[in-house]
Amino acid sequence: METENLYYFEKAPVAKAVAHFAVPMMLGSSMNVIYSILNAYFLGTLHNTAMLTALTLTLPLFAAIMALGSLIGMGSGTFISRLLGENKYDDVKHVSSFAFYSSLVLGLILVAVGLPLIDPIVHGLGATPDSYGFTKDYVTIMLIGSPIVILFFTLENIVRSEGAAMTSMIGMILSVVVNIILDVLVIFVLHGDVIGVASATVISNLVASAFYAFHMGYKSPFLTVSVKWFKATKDILSNVFKIGVPVFIMSIFLGAMSLILNHFLVEYGEQATAAYGISSRLLQFPEFVLMGLCEGVVPLIAFTFTANKLRMKQTIGFTIKTIVALAVVFGIIVYLISDHLIGLFTNDPQLIEMGSYILHVTFLSLFISGTTALFTGIFQATAQGSAAFIMSIIQGITLIPVLFIADRTSGFHGVVWSLVIADAVAFLVGAIMLYVLRNKLQPELDSLVQ
């Protein structure tokens, strides 16, 4: 396994190496999109709007828990890949053990802090009198299970960081499959409600976490879950958090941006909100595919940053070409059949027209947002903490003033186009920082930013 992992890091043709790391992540991300749709569908069969509302209202909480997992997982993962490039295998074991146990401790802290504050949390999520009970049930289960959920997202990043991309994908798909099976069992056999659905999510994450832990303990030549390797040195904490914190902040900002955007859309009626909801779900699939590509190559970029910077340049160049190709393919499909895609969700002509318009506009920035995600990945992989932090907040702090101005000057059209403008600003900031940092990263990167 050691030879196979290092082969893709060091010797495989760049296209083959990128495919090895990125395709499993792209498939795993796509499965998560499919699951989120099926999860709402299964709960919807109970024909209880309050339950569906509770499921929607708790999304920010789940996103926050997931962000905590990414804080430890992404920070530790990129550090591990850089250490592998330097052949520091003992340090890799220290970092992987730190990631395993610190994610559990972080989850336990969240339980201790969150459970006494559960009522304010439920109110803060916007629960109505009808949905309050269901929302509180879901939040309770998610808080109790948060150590497991955080551990799952941490270990997925850790396993991928050593080059075991297929193992990472199998764990992600295992979580989705177990979750779907348990949802069917809870709803159609046991006639449960949101408590069962929330429990299914926690249990599926537990199964996948056990799979990852087994791999780290018995299969991996580099990683470990043994407590004897646990260390929390200044070097480990610094390298983990300077990348992990920006990832966490980015996740929180994205959730806040969604809430703010919904506030503006509500002013233009339920159809505007519904049209955006449908189009954003459709946009999720290509976005997650491109995100999977960019996140997938982060370990490869991190490894080659310390081991072979010319190969790092080739990896980045090939990834940009792939982003362009995928954005063009998805864009052509959308512009040809956007009405039919929206029509899968509604037969309202006005809603179809509005949703199609939103799709056309937002798809204009698919390449931009994909490349921006790659810029962020490059900064994470190369330990550029300040640049990664700026990328984590730039889109959010751009969108808010743009929304206010565009809403006042251009109404509904301005609100929709504000997303493209925010993406474009983030892209330009990322490109400028990459240009400024080019000598620190690698002189050969000049051709990518000129």
DSSP letter for each residue of 101-162:
HHHHHHHHHHHHHHGGGHHHHHHHTT--TTTHHHHHHHHHHHHHTHHHHHHHHHHHHHHHHT
Global pTM value: 0.77
Give me the domain span that covers residue 356: 244-450
Is 238 part of any domain?
no
Domain match, 181 and 252 both: no
Q: Which of 205, 232, 259 is the last residue of a domain?
A: 232
The three-state DSSP-derived secondary structure of 164-192 is: CHHHHHHHHHHHHHHHHHHHHHHHHHCCC
Where does residue 94 rank: exposed (0-12), middle (13-18), buried (19+ CB within 10 A)? buried
Contact criterion met (CB below 8 Å) for 150 and 111 = no
Tokens of residue 28, six digits? 């795993």
Q: Which of 232, 252, 278 is the last residue of a domain?
A: 232
Contact criterion met (CB below 8 Å) for 367 and 324 = yes
Domain match, 272 and 187 both: no
Residue 3 amino acid letter: T
Domain match, 352 and 227 both: no
Q: Which residue has the tokens 């954003």?
A: 280
Query: Tens-of-pLDDT digits for all 450 residues of the chain?
Result: 455 667 777 888 889 888 888 888 787 777 767 766 666 667 666 666 677 667 767 777 877 888 888 889 888 988 888 888 888 888 989 999 999 999 999 999 999 998 998 888 888 777 777 778 888 888 899 899 999 999 998 998 899 888 787 888 899 889 888 988 998 888 888 877 778 888 888 999 999 999 999 999 888 888 889 888 888 888 888 888 887 887 788 777 776 776 677 667 767 776 777 777 677 777 778 888 888 888 888 888 888 888 888 888 889 999 999 999 998 998 888 888 888 877 776 677 887 888 888 888 888 888 888 898 899 888 888 878 788 888 878 877 888 888 888 888 888 888 888 888 888 998 999 899 988 877 766 544 444 444
Which of 149, 161, 89 has its CA nearest to residue 114?
149
Domain match, 351 and 450 both: yes
Domain match, 262 and 207 both: no
Q: Which of 203, 232, 261 is the last residue of a domain?
A: 232
Domain match, 200 and 297 both: no
Is 3 part of any domain?
no
- Per-residue DSSP letter, 227: G
Is 309 part of any domain?
yes
Domain match, 256 and 194 both: no
Per-residue pLDDT, 443: 47
Largest alpha-carbon pair distance within the chain? Answer: 64
Is 12 part of any domain?
no
Domain match, 291 and 355 both: yes
Domain match, 322 and 435 both: yes
Is 109 part of any domain?
yes
Domain match, 41 and 166 both: yes
Domain match, 201 and 340 both: no
Contact criterion met (CB below 8 Å) for 163 and 80 = no
Domain match, 136 and 248 both: no
